[in-house]
Structure 1
Amino acid sequence: MLKIAICLLILGASDALFAQVYLQNEPFSHTYSIVARDPETGEMAVGVQSHWFSVGTVVSWGEAGVGVVATQSFVNKSFGPLGLQLLKDGKTANEALKILLRSDEGREVRQVAIVDARGNVATHTGDKCIAYAGHQQGENYSVQANMMLTKEVWPAMADAYEKSSGLPLAERVIIALEAAEKAGGDIRGKQSAALLVVKGQPVKNSWDDPMINLRVDDHTNPVEELKRLLKVYRAYEHMNKGDLAVEVGDMSLALQEYGKAQSMFPHNLEMQYWTAVTLANNHRIEEALPIFERVFRENENWRELTRRLPDAGLLDIKRKELKKILKLK
Structure 2
Amino acid sequence: MKIATYLLLFLSTPAIAQVFKTREPLAHTFSVVARDPATGQMAAAVQSHWFSVGTSVIWGKSGVGVVATQSFVNKSYGPLGLQLMQAGKTPQQALTELTQKDDGRDVRQVAFLNTKGQSAVHTGSKCIAYATDRHGVNYSVQSNMRLTDKVCQAMEKTFLANAKLPLAERVVACLQAAQAAGGDIRGRQSAALIVVSGTLAKESWNDKLIDLRVDDSPNPINELARLLKLQRAYEHMNNGDLQVEKGNMPKAMAEYTAAEKMFPANLEMQYWHAITLANNKGVKEASVILKRIYAKDANWRELTRRLPKVGQLTVTAEELKMLLL
What TM-score range do you get, normalising by the shorter chain? over 0.9
What are the Cα deviations for residues 218-254 of structure 1, in whole angstroms up to 9, with x where unaligned?
A: 0000001000000000000000000011111110110
Q: Secondary structure at the match of 1:91?
A: coil
Note if 1:117 corresponds to 2:99. Answer: no
Note if 1:8 corresponds to 2:8. Answer: yes
| Maintained 8 Å contact 1:149/1:186 | yes
- 1:20 equivalent in structure 2: 17
Write out aligned runs for 1:278-297 (5 A): 278-297=276-295
- 2:90 equivalent in structure 1: 92
| Maintained 8 Å contact 1:4/1:24 | no
| Maintained 8 Å contact 2:73/2:108 | yes
Supply the distance in 2 between the matched residues of 1:200 and 1:8 (Cα, whole angstroms): 42
What are the Cα deviations for residues 181-236 of structure 1, in whole angstroms up to 9, with x where unaligned?
A: 01100101110000010011111111111110000000000001000000000000
Identify which of 65, 68, 73 aligns with 2:66: 68
Q: Post-superposition shift, 1:286? A: 1.3
- 1:270 equivalent in structure 2: 268
Q: Secondary structure at the match of 1:266?
A: coil
Note if 1:220 corresponds to 2:218. Answer: yes
Supply the distance in 2 between the matched residues of 1:46 and 1:85 (Cα, whole angstroms): 17
Supply the distance in 2 between the matched residues of 1:18 and 1:216 (Cα, whole angstroms): 35
Supply the distance in 2 between the matched residues of 1:83 and 1:24 (Cα, whole angstroms): 21
Tell me the C-alpha RMSD between the 2 structures. 1.2
Q: Secondary structure at the match of 2:19?
A: helix
Aligned identity (percent) is 58
Write out aligned runs for 1:1-329 (5 A): 5-9=5-9, 11=10, 15-25=12-22, 26-326=24-324, 328=325
1:20 counterpart letter in structure 2: A
Q: Post-superposition shift, 1:5? A: 4.1
| Maintained 8 Å contact 1:111/1:125 | yes
Q: Secondary structure at the match of 2:285?
A: helix
Q: Post-superposition shift, 1:161? A: 1.1
Supply the distance in 1 between the matched residues of 2:260 and 2:61 (Cα, whole angstroms): 32
Q: Secondary structure at the match of 1:232?
A: helix
What are the Cα deviations for residues 157-190 of structure 1, in whole angstroms up to 9, with x where unaligned?
A: 1001111111100000011000000110010111
Supply the distance in 1 between the matched residues of 2:44 and 2:62 (Cα, whole angstroms): 13
Q: Secondary structure at the match of 2:208?
A: coil
Q: Post-superposition shift, 1:92? A: 1.0
Q: Post-superposition shift, 1:3? A: 5.9
Supply the distance in 2 between the matched residues of 1:98 and 1:8 (Cα, whole angstroms): 27
What are the Cα deviations for residues 125-183 of structure 1, in whole angstroms up to 9, with x where unaligned?
A: 00010000010012200000000000000100100111111110000001100000011
| Maintained 8 Å contact 2:106/2:125 | yes
Supply the distance in 2 between the matched residues of 1:273 and 1:209 (Cα, whole angstroms): 30
Q: Secondary structure at the match of 1:230?
A: helix
Q: TM-score, normalised by structure 2?
A: 0.97
Supply the distance in 2 between the matched residues of 1:3 and 1:82 (Cα, whole angstroms): 28
Gaps of 5+ in 2: none
Q: Secondary structure at the match of 1:166?
A: coil
Q: TM-score, normalised by structure 1?
A: 0.96
